[in-house]
Amino acid sequence: MSDQMSKGVKNEAVGAAKETSGRVRDAAADLTGDTSEQIKGKAQKAEGMVQKNVGRAQEKAAVRKEEDDADRTA
C-alpha cells in the first residue's frame, strides 16, 4: 500500500469516527436542550465528513497514480 493510500485510509477512518462522535454529541444535546453542545456536535460532524471525503479523494488519487504507473511500465 502506498503512503498516499494509507494516509487516505487513515483520514477516512478518523473522519468517520469524528462524524459519528459529532452525531452522538448533537443528539445528546438535542435531548438536553443544550444549544451550545448542539452547535459543537454539528461542527464536529461536519469536520468528520470533510476529513472522510479528503481520505476518499486521497485513496482515489493513489489508485489513479498506481494505474498510471502500471500503464507506463507496460
44/4: higher pLDDT = 44
As a whole number of angstroms, the distance between CA 33 and CA 62 comes to: 44
Could you read off the pLDDT of 27-55 as tens digits, one per residue? 999 999 999 999 999 999 999 999 999 99
CA-closest candidate to residue 45, choices 28, 29, 21, 27: 21
For CA atoms 31, 36, 14, 52, the dihedral sign is positive
Domain limits, the chain: 3-73
Average pLDDT, the chain: 95
Q: Does residue 74 register a pLDDT over 80?
A: no
